[in-house]
Amino acid sequence: MGALSYLFFARLRNQVKEFVRKPSKLIMTAVFALAIGVTLLADSGGAPHYGSYRSIEEFYAVVAVLYGAVFVTVAKNGFSNGGSVFSMADVNLIFVSPVKASSALFFGMLQQLGKSLYLGVFLLFQYTLAREYYGIEYTTLILVAFGYGITALFSQMTATLIYMAVSSSDRKTKIGKAVFYGVVAAFIGAAVIRGGLIGDFTIEKAVYAVRSTFMYFMPVSGFVTLGVEGAASGEVIKLIISLGTGLAFSIAYYILISKARGDYYEDVLLSAQTYFSAVTAAKEGKAAEVTPKNVRVGREGLTRGYGASAVSEKHKTENRRSRVLLLDKISLVITAMLALYSFILPSVTGIFVTSVYTLTITVAAGRWAKELAYPYIYLIPEKPFKKLVYLIREQIPSVIIESIICFIPVHFILKTDILLTLSMMAARAAFGLIFIGANLVFQRLFSSASKTVLTITLYMLFTAAFSMPAIICGVLVSFFAPFNPELSLLATVPVNAVVSAVILFAVRNVLQYSEYNNR
């Protein structure tokens, strides 16, 4: 058995052994399997919600947009830290071993394929919606998830090629960015013109624009979408073209990266190190800020704040430098996602539930949550409760502003009543307080150092438990006022405010000992 074959099967064997050594992984696997089973059983197979299935062209348009977004998001990393199919373990074991560079490259591609396919698993939980609105079978959704993983893999490979091509010169980086974004803009512009979307945007025109033949020529996402569509519909010609294009892409990647400079190790070493550092920091609860090479300094220092209030002023300054207008990148993505959701699945209830779910990302990415992993706030000679109040002071207005702005596109797209829109804004902001409280309780009990799948699941359970009083109150109000959803939403606001205040008081000493929270 060769060295790489032994390494591959040894890792596979160790992963299986971890199910015995770490019962948490076995529990999570069982929970995941149960969730998939519940998703399958929840589908009654009856009539769809709107009386008839929506166009299958619309479904594949959504798939194409999803794949395209994945490609652009991942591939553009080639202009900064690159994209590597190797981990630091590979660097330490393979790069120093007497194995051929081409064999090591093939091993990295095969290993990354497994990781990329795992990324698409979350799409399987969308079966109920896909079945209800489009009549999609579960096998088709599995193909979509598989295509998602393939898109992520090829996008990572593209990022590696971009990094190799432009990393040696700032001038090459600028030219590469111009070409990359120019190609993306050309496809978007062609779709907008073809669909006649300027001035009169409708979902039918958007689908017509995305489903044009030239969109299949979009790098990576185009031929992967073609393959998924061909496999799902039984069109052999589309499937053959897609497989042939994917094979040609893989061969071209293999030749370019192994022959362009003879030894590609130096080109992927830095990106592997950067990725490893980011993952390690995230596991330790110390995810670092992503900063560009050239930073425009602008105004320096803090002009306000003393003692505990300096923490809040520091967060405000950092937000001012990182935001686009009033929102950060995460909030912009959430706003765009809800707007897209409004076009595809125009359900006010579904949109509101989705908006509340996205609060897990907003709160977890807050600067106050990152501050808990560092010792500085614990060293401020103030009372723990006072420091805690100033710590979360930055997050509360951020959640409120995000809740207001993210529903503005929804209001105009769905033409909802102004009172209903305002009620959704207020209710989501109040749920944000609960999410902050749940995060604090989790920090108090389990510390901030571990970010495993099990702890994330426990955090979600904490959030659901603390949200339950408001949910129950909203449901009860809906029984007495079934045609006034505004009242049900507004009823959750005072309940969430009271529960969050109780939580804040209960964890008032969470900042008393640094060692306790970072063990």
- Helix H or strand E encompassing 452: none
What average pLDDT does the structure give for the chain? 77
- Whether 222 is covered by a domain: the verdict is yes
48 pLDDT above the threshold of 70: no
- Whether 362 is covered by a domain: the verdict is yes
> Looking at the structure, do residues 203 and 130 belong to the same domain, yes or no?
yes
> Looking at the structure, do residues 124 and 201 belong to the same domain, yes or no?
yes
Tell me the backbone φ, ψ of residue 260, rounded to 5 degrees: -60, -45
With beta carbons less than 8 A apart as the criterion, state whether 402 and 331 touch: yes
pLDDT above 70 as % of the chain: 75
pLDDT band at 324 (very low <50, low <70, confident <90, very high): low
pLDDT band at 47 (very low <50, low <70, confident <90, very high): very low
Rounded Cα distance between 86 and 80, Å, is 17
- State the total domains in the chain: 3
Q: Cα dihedral angle (94, 99, 105, 109), rounded to 10 degrees?
A: -70
Rounded Cα distance between 441 and 443, Å, is 5
Say which residues have a Cβ less than 8 Å from residue 257's Cβ, sequence separation at least 6. 105, 160, 161, 164, 264, 267
Look at residue 311 in the predicted model and tell me its pLDDT.
80
Look at residue 276 in the predicted model and tell me its pLDDT.
60
> Looking at the structure, do residues 362 and 448 belong to the same domain, yes or no?
yes
Look at residue 449 in the predicted model and tell me its pLDDT.
46
**Cα 436 from chain centroid (whole Å):** 19
> Looking at the structure, do residues 24 and 158 belong to the same domain, yes or no?
no
287 pLDDT above the threshold of 70: no
Q: Where are the alpha helices (DSSP H) in 120-220?
A: 127-134, 138-166, 170-195, 203-210
- Whether 507 is covered by a domain: the verdict is yes
Look at residue 492 in the predicted model and tell me its pLDDT.
92
> Looking at the structure, do residues 334 and 210 belong to the same domain, yes or no?
no
263 pLDDT above the threshold of 70: no
pLDDT band at 430 (very low <50, low <70, confident <90, very high): very high
Tell me the backbone φ, ψ of residue 298, rounded to 5 degrees: 70, -140
Give the mean pLDDT of 213-225: 89
- Whether 158 is covered by a domain: the verdict is yes
Look at residue 130 in the predicted model and tell me its pLDDT.
77
Structural domain for 36, as ranges: 18-47
Look at residue 510 in the predicted model and tell me its pLDDT.
77
Give the mean pLDDT of 36-64: 68
128 pLDDT above the threshold of 50: yes
> Looking at the structure, do residues 383 and 401 belong to the same domain, yes or no?
yes
- Whether 303 is covered by a domain: the verdict is no
Question: Which residues are registered as beta bridge partners of 327?
Answer: 324
Give the mean pLDDT of 306-332: 74
> Looking at the structure, do residues 160 and 107 belong to the same domain, yes or no?
yes
pLDDT band at 194 (very low <50, low <70, confident <90, very high): confident
> Looking at the structure, do residues 450 and 509 belong to the same domain, yes or no?
yes
Look at residue 259 in the predicted model and tell me its pLDDT.
67
Give the number of other Cβ atoms within 10 Å of residue 93's Cβ: 15
DSSP-based three-state secondary structure for 378: helix
> Looking at the structure, do residues 399 and 471 belong to the same domain, yes or no?
yes
Burial class (CB in 10 A: 0-12, 13-18, 19+), 78: buried
367 pLDDT above the threshold of 90: no
**What would the DSSP string read from start to end of 458-516?**
HHHHHHHHHHHHHHHHHHHHHHH-TT-HHHHHHHHHHHHHHHHHHHHHHTTTTTS-HHH
pTM, to two decimals? 0.68
> Looking at the structure, do residues 335 and 274 belong to the same domain, yes or no?
no
With beta carbons less than 8 A apart as the criterion, state whether 264 and 258 touch: yes
Burial class (CB in 10 A: 0-12, 13-18, 19+), 425: buried
Rounded Cα distance between 206 and 505, Å, is 50
Ranges 57-61, 117-121, 377-381: which has the least confidence: 117-121
Give the mean pLDDT of 57-84: 81
> Looking at the structure, do residues 121 and 266 belong to the same domain, yes or no?
yes
- Whether 296 is covered by a domain: the verdict is no
Ranges 67-71, 178-182, 204-208: which has the least confidence: 204-208
DSSP-based three-state secondary structure for 346: coil
4 pLDDT above the threshold of 60: yes
With beta carbons less than 8 A apart as the criterion, state whether 227 and 242 touch: yes
426 pLDDT above the threshold of 90: yes
- Whether 205 is covered by a domain: the verdict is yes
Give the mean pLDDT of 58-64: 87
- Whether 8 is covered by a domain: the verdict is no
Q: What is the DSSP letter of 327?
A: B
Strand segments (E) across 4-111: none
> Looking at the structure, do residues 322 and 394 belong to the same domain, yes or no?
yes
Each residue of 158-179: b (16+ CB within 10 Å) or e?
Answer: bbbbbbbbbbeeeeebeebeee
Rounded Cα distance between 398 and 435, Å, is 13
